[in-house]
Structure 1
């Protein structure tokens, strides 16, 4: 009789457990969403193609999207992990290269705002004439882009590039988009310039160079 009683209790416990399990719902999310907004001087930048790469594994493009009128691209649902996004855009006659590593977390919606001004660096120039400081030197910084490479006349290059003039101490600073090479000229006439060298600046970094106009 006692054994029968124990068996009945066990049966009741199993049934109760089975009934409770029907009310338990488990929703495990191992992915998140990623949306990016691109601005230039506070204004949304549309029609920019973004490429999404996985940080681990193959180098092939995982996805591509073009920014809408609000400067936004939405890559939707992604597995959790690190991703590299890349894009290029020309604004105000300058080409900007966007490259950013972003982390997508499980169960989260990631919305990131990027600005072209965050992808620039500063070049500090000092001009000399031999061993002496030479002030009031006119300088041109021209990006190496397909359009600029096709310019023949120096006057056209002046219109397309960034211009600066050193002060009495021979110093000038310019801020240029990072990770893109540009050529440096010094000149006295808009009709002719003297090519010096090419450089590129790193993002959010300062680079110091000296130019001898007698070389």
Structure 2
């Protein structure tokens, strides 16, 4: 009788063990994987960039982003977030630098059950086109050969002559015969647009702007001289 009881207990343990194993396998099969890679405009990986993974919740009245994980890219510019629940996630990288310009990456990625999502992103794609149109208030005509500096707001310092701001500018241009300078600038950042005399390097005018990814925007400015 004791032998029979022990045999039944072994069968019960084996059954429970198999059940637990099946539950674990089922749970794992409901997940997906995500790798994310950052590159420059030429496809070269950007190493040691912090990438944050957020669970992004959109509601009618508000949006919330809950930080899930933070990792730094390896020598190839890639991070592996491993197993994740199938849903849409927000990827943020705010220190991806190319040609001394910090680009802000905000990207939504969908993770699918049983699949590995390998996403590669050029950080320079997070840009927009700013069309600066400059007019001389003295003549009310387009002003040619006027220098244009695009400076991060936090790096701008007012000065009569633009030596410091010239060094701090992330993007530079000069207006043509039509008084227009077209610049591709990083999106999602606040910038100062500074106009200056290319001969005397004197500050003519300044204002602020920002641009969204993929957007083309006109910026109108003028000056007295």
TM-score category (smaller protein): 0.7 to 0.9
Alignment match, 2:103: 96
- Cα pair 2:162 2:196 within 8 Å, conserved: no
Structure 1 runs (4+) greater than 3 angstroms displaced: 25-28, 149-153, 189-192
Instruction: Decide which moves more: 164-173 or 132-141.
Output: 132-141
CA deviation map 1:173-192 (0-9, x unaligned): 00100010110111115653
RMSD: 2.2
TM-score by length of 1: 0.80
Residue 206 of structure 1 pairs with residue 216 of structure 2: yes
Distance in 2, matches of 1:194 and 1:133, equals: 15
TM-score by length of 2: 0.77
Alignment match, 2:130: 123
- Cα pair 1:96 1:116 within 8 Å, conserved: yes
Alignment match, 1:69: 75
Q: How many residues align structurally?
A: 189
How many Å apart are 1:158 and its aligned residue? 0.7
Segments of 5+ residues of structure 2 without an aligned counterpart are 1-21, 59-63
Instruction: Decide which moves more: 108-117 or 185-194.
Output: 185-194
Segments of 5+ residues of structure 1 without an aligned counterpart are 1-24
- Cα pair 1:94 1:143 within 8 Å, conserved: no
SS at match of 1:43: coil
Match of residue 168, structure 2, among 156, 160, 164? 160
SS at match of 1:55: strand
- Cα pair 1:124 1:209 within 8 Å, conserved: yes
Alignment match, 1:35: 35
CA 1:151–1:93 in 2, change beyond 3 Å: closer, same or farther? farther
SS at match of 2:166: helix
Residue 144 of structure 1 pairs with residue 156 of structure 2: no
How many Å apart are 1:159 and its aligned residue? 2.2
CA 1:191–1:209 in 2, change beyond 3 Å: closer, same or farther? closer
Quick check: which has more Rg, 1 or 2?
Answer: 1
Distance in 2, matches of 1:195 and 1:128, equals: 11
SS at match of 1:117: helix
- Cα pair 2:50 2:72 within 8 Å, conserved: yes
- Cα pair 2:156 2:192 within 8 Å, conserved: no
How many Å apart are 1:95 and its aligned residue? 1.4
